[in-house]
Amino acid sequence: MDSILLLPLVALLVVAISWLWDYTVVRLIWRPHCIAKEFREKQGIRGPAYKFLGGNNGEISRLKEEADDQVLDNLRDHNYLPRIAPHFLKWRAQYGEAFLFWYGAKPRICIFDYELARQILSSKSGHFLKNDAPPTLVALMGKGLVLLEGTDWVRHRRVINPAFNMDKLKMMISTMTGCAQSLAKELEDVAAKNKDRVTEVDLNQKFRELTADIIAHTAFGSSYQLGKEAFQAQHELTEITMATLFQVQLPGLNYLPTERNRRKWRLQKNLRDTLMQIIRSRLSSKDGEYGNDLLGLMLGACASDEQGEASSLSMDEIVDECKTFFLAGHETTSLLLTWTVFLLSVYPEWQERLRNEVLRECGTDQCPDANSLGKLKEARNKNLFLYTI
């Protein structure tokens, strides 16, 4: 009887030792050594030395912390890379235009050749796959279009693409201008309370609120208030993800009931519950219409028998696409607006040129629409484009 009980224990011990050997010795020691040697000897690509478990994450965090203390004295100096990506510049100077570095135990190749980057991004060979996203990032933005590959990517793209054709975007312009008008009036009211009609405003925060408002309206229509609640939960998840992005992720660490993990689980649940509440309200619509916004188009594709099984999305996939749309659309747009307004304050001559063009094409009482936006040639001038990037 004792020998019968002992056999499963021995088997479990063998499995545990085998897994520990594979994870610790093969994945964390031997594999990084072999990969670095192959690139160095066969392609001449070198890079910073791999450190056990953490890779180059520690050095990246240290260099970024040091860069945060830098002050840009010249506002017209757009050399901002030493502040936001000091590790890439340091390693390029040491190892050349292409180098190998380590995100934890995962190898990464950094290139600075624009033509090579264009070839990689436009390649349909299937050799260039997307990086495996950290579990915290997948939980944050979902396994949506940005992270998918192959047939799943094609299926999601087929469903989502109609939401972004020109006719659909033109229909959203009135919503966007309405949200922008509300912000402008809010700022005017605040300034009017001061004698000199001058006030200090955190435009970065205001633009974050504006873009969240627009995305909530265009993605969820009449359920935009719930959409904003979902966005707030995702924003808090973003802060947790960024704080732990370069920390060593030990297996099973995400399952421990630490204070941070419990907060993360609560936010993830709130985010999913809010999105599902919006989805269920659409599905229970009596007229059977799901709406012309992004969510409506995805639900319509799921309900359509004509497109067939291959073109539909599951509820989990729809939730993931909502997460992706929020995250991908919000930070990029709000930061672009902040950067653009900052540059217009540094280059007042451009500010004046653009103001005159808007007044000339749209008048003083008319909001921009799809037709008038096409007439704003100065706003699309290549010099302004170079300034804003």
Average pLDDT value for residue range 278-291: 73
pLDDT the model gives residue 5:
66
pLDDT the model gives residue 303:
61
Which two three-digit tokens encode residue 79?
A: 């050399």
Pairwise CA distance, residues 236 & 229, whole Å: 11
The pLDDT > 70 percentage for the chain reads 90
The pLDDT > 90 percentage for the chain reads 14
As to burial, measured by CB atoms within 10 angstroms (0-12 exposed, 13-18 middle, 19+ buried), residue 183 is: middle
Most confident of the following: 100-114, 281-295, 328-342: 100-114
pLDDT the model gives residue 314:
82
pLDDT the model gives residue 355:
87
Return mean pLDDT, the chain.
81
Average pLDDT value for residue range 221-231: 76
Instruction: List, for residues 110-134, the tens digit of each pLDDT value.
Output: 999 889 889 888 887 777 877 777 7
DSSP-assigned states of every residue in 197-228: S-----HHHHHHHHHHHHHHHHHHGGGHHHHH
Cα 234 off chain centre by: 11
Instruction: List, for residues 297-319, the tens digit of each pLDDT value.
Output: 777 766 654 444 555 788 888 88
In this structure, what DSSP letter does residue 113 have?
Answer: -
CA distances from 32 to 26, 49, 252, 372 (A): 9, 10, 22, 56
Query: Residue 4 — very low, low, confident or very high, per pLDDT cuts 50/70/90?
Result: low
**Residue of 327 and 285 predicted with greater confidence:** 327
The kind and range of the H/E element at 138 are helix 135-141
Instruction: List, for residues 134-156, the tens digit of each pLDDT value.
Output: 777 787 788 888 888 888 888 88
- Kindly report the pTM of this predicted structure: 0.76
pLDDT the model gives residue 95:
95
Pairwise CA distance, residues 135 & 132, whole Å: 9
Question: CATH for 156-329?
Answer: 1.10.630.10
Checking if the pLDDT of 387 tops 50, the result is no
Angle between helices 259-283 and 224-243 (to 10 degrees): 150
pLDDT the model gives residue 32:
93
pLDDT the model gives residue 365:
72
pLDDT the model gives residue 101:
96
Domain ranges in the chain with CATH number 1.10.630.10: 156-329
Average pLDDT value for residue range 167-180: 82
Query: Residue 59 — very low, low, confident or very high, per pLDDT cuts 50/70/90?
Result: very high
